[in-house]
Amino acid sequence: MAQSDDEEGIEVAPGHPPANGYLPVPGGAPAGKTSAEPQKGTKAGCLALNGVPRDSHAAASGALGRPQTHLAPEEETQVRLLPTGAGEETPGPEDTQVPRTALSARRFVVLLIFSLYSLVNSFQWIQYSIISNVFEGFYGVSSLHIDWLSMVYMLAYVPLIFPATWLLDTRGLRLTALLGSGLNCLGAWVKCGSVQQHLFWVTMLGQSLCSVAQVFILGLPSRIASVWFGPKEVSTACATAVLGNQLGTAVGFLLPPVLVPNTQNNTDLLAHNISTMFYGTSAVATLLFILTIIAFKEKPQYPPSQARAALQDSPPEEYSYKKSIWNLFKNIPFVLLLITYGIMTGVFYSVSTLLNQIILTYYEGEEVNAGRIGLTLVVAGMVGSILCGLWLDYTKTYKQTTLIVYILSFFGMVIFTFTLDLGYIFIVFITGGVLGFFMTGYLPLGFEFAVEITYPESEGTSSGLLNAAAQIFGILFTLAQGKLTSEYGPKAGNIFLCVWMFVGIILTALIKSDLRRHNINIGLANGNIKAVPVDSPTDQESKTDMMSKQSESAI
């Protein structure tokens, strides 16, 4: 059952269905009453969750003793979690309660700390690219060298995502958060020792450490939201966690051009300005690492939702990381989402990395305004993220919202592309804001949609795979767009990205929406609760009727 804060050091492997948990089913008793009172009799009031394969319709049908039939998504999700045999014994106490759920006030502290150190990590990702011409002159390197200071974030993520998600699933949220915050702090301090013109390799080393830290950061928003926040706020919480990363990008667009102006005729002044930026970043990263150590907890005393309660008591030895990965890749809707999310986020990474070069092609000497355009793009995206999160919590229309935002992002990219050369920079501010509102607003949508269609698999694993796809597409798009931009101009590079976004729209439309987590939550929260002992001699027809009523309640 739920652990107190004092017991949070005991690691429990998340992300898989419990063997000894219990799932109430709709019936005749008043809603909510069963969870407050113990049920009488052996395992009364609950259906044991004893490991029916999540992706096996035949096994689910066998659990009911009937031939395999087509089930509605709500029924299918519940049947995956039903026992394999009507009379199968499940060890447990004589009096078993539905897990108590409650919201902890600490959840806001955890969310704030994560968002802030994610902000600093994202700031360090973009701080070189937005003033790439300044760093090229200071270190005496090519534009490709500076681009790699950004792309190293993408490159490091791909091979490290699997050990990182394994660590999250087997060792827990707190350790992963400490690694992310600690490596981010270490990388910032290493870069402080690189403020000499011949030490480009040191700044690359520091940036590489920050890129490793990112592996332990990008996959956490959906896990934090699921572990700490209730069903009516989980999407908003995920959007807020992603918001920290976006805000860091915004600050990365805004501050470096102000802190490090283009004074290449005065090398000493330029070195002083770079040093100021690096040391300031290190101080903030250190403070946030200390706060992470003090305040970041593994999980609240009680689960925040019934879907989370159904997962939290599972024994660690029953969890298989390889099987979890395999289950995800057998999930066709998730594979489609993996590709579409990678395309959209890869386009965002590419545009962010090359924004300075794109803007300066048409507006020479506008380094500061290039940073402000980037700021506008990301701030508008932050607003879009929060609005999308609130909308999902209110409507639960994951696929429809994802598809609409994808289409609007495509049109935003087309408008941005064909208005760059008009000669009016204020138009670029407007089109950049529209593009950012939809494109950046899409990021938390992908995370939450993935959690819904892959439940009860680990949120960290699904989010990690999404981010890995984003990094792969980001590297490919940045290299391709950079080549097209340098040889044919920014318009050619942007059209290349538009074509890929159109492909993403088509694939998004093909995703089947099976909201498994949502179905579990509404199946438990809505309707009436009836005590159904696992080993009762209930006939097959009444079990089928129970499933039908449960489906109707969910709808």
pLDDT: is 292 or 382 the higher one?
292
pLDDT at 360 over 60: yes
Please answer whether residues 373 and 438 qualify as being in contact, where contact means their C-beta atoms are separated by less than 8 angstroms.
no
Give the pLDDT score at 6.
42
Give the pLDDT score at 92.
42
User: Which of 233, 214, 217 minimizes the C-alpha distance to 225?
Assistant: 233
Residue where the block lists tokens 């969890």: 319
φ, ψ of residue 27 in degrees (nearest 5) = -170, -130
What's 50's DSSP letter?
Answer: -
Reported as a single tens digit per residue, the pLDDT across 151-181 is 888 788 878 888 888 888 788 889 999 999 9
Q: Whole-angstrom Cα distance, residue 381 to residue 418? A: 21
Reported as a single tens digit per residue, the pLDDT across 536-548 is 333 344 444 444 4
How do the domains of the chain map onto residue ranges?
323-527
Please answer whether residues 300 and 102 qualify as being in contact, where contact means their C-beta atoms are separated by less than 8 angstroms.
yes
Question: How is domain 323-527 classified at the CATH fold level?
Answer: Growth Hormone; Chain: A; (1.20.1250)
What's 39's DSSP letter?
Answer: P
Percent of the chain with pLDDT strictly greater than 90: 17
For 131, counting Cβ atoms within 10 Å of its Cβ (0-12 exposed, 13-18 middle, 19+ buried), the class is: buried
Give the pLDDT score at 389.
75
Residue where the block lists tokens 């200390």: 290
Give the pLDDT score at 45.
40
Mean pLDDT of 94-118: 78
Reported as a single tens digit per residue, the pLDDT across 340-357 is 999 998 998 888 888 878
Q: Whole-angstrom Cα distance, residue 387 to residue 396? A: 13
Q: Whole-angstrom Cα distance, residue 381 to residue 360? A: 23
Q: Whole-angstrom Cα distance, residue 309 to residue 302? A: 8
Q: Whole-angstrom Cα distance, residue 296 to residue 42? A: 39
Reported as a single tens digit per residue, the pLDDT across 11-49 is 343 444 444 444 444 444 444 444 433 444 443 344 333
pLDDT at 483 over 70: yes
pLDDT at 183 over 90: yes
Tally of CA atoms within 13 A in the half-sphere of 469 that contains its CB: 21
Q: To the nearest 10°, the Cα dihedral for 103, 106, 107, 109?
A: 160
Q: Which residues contact 143 (CB under 8 A, 6 or more apart)?
A: 132, 133, 136, 357
pLDDT at 239 over 90: no
pLDDT at 517 over 80: no
Q: How far apart are the first and last CA of the chain?
A: 29
Residues 161, 480, 256: CA angle, nearest 5 degrees: 70
How many beta carbons lie within 10 A of that of residue 84, not counting itself?
14
Reported as a single tens digit per residue, the pLDDT across 384-395 is 877 877 887 777
Confidence of residue 88 (pLDDT cuts 50, 70, 90): very low
pLDDT at 93 over 70: no
The answer to which of 13-27, 127-141, 483-497 has the lowest mean pLDDT is 13-27
- DSSP 3-state assignment of 26? strand
What angle, rounded to 10 degrees, do the helices at 540-554 and 73-80 form?
120
R_g of the chain computed on alpha carbons: 25
Mean pLDDT of 520-526: 52
User: Which of 373, 395, 401 minimizes the C-alpha distance to 490?
Assistant: 373
The answer to which of 198-207, 449-458, 482-491 has the lowest mean pLDDT is 449-458
pLDDT at 299 over 90: no
What pTM was estimated for this model as a whole? Answer: 0.59
- DSSP 3-state assignment of 3? coil
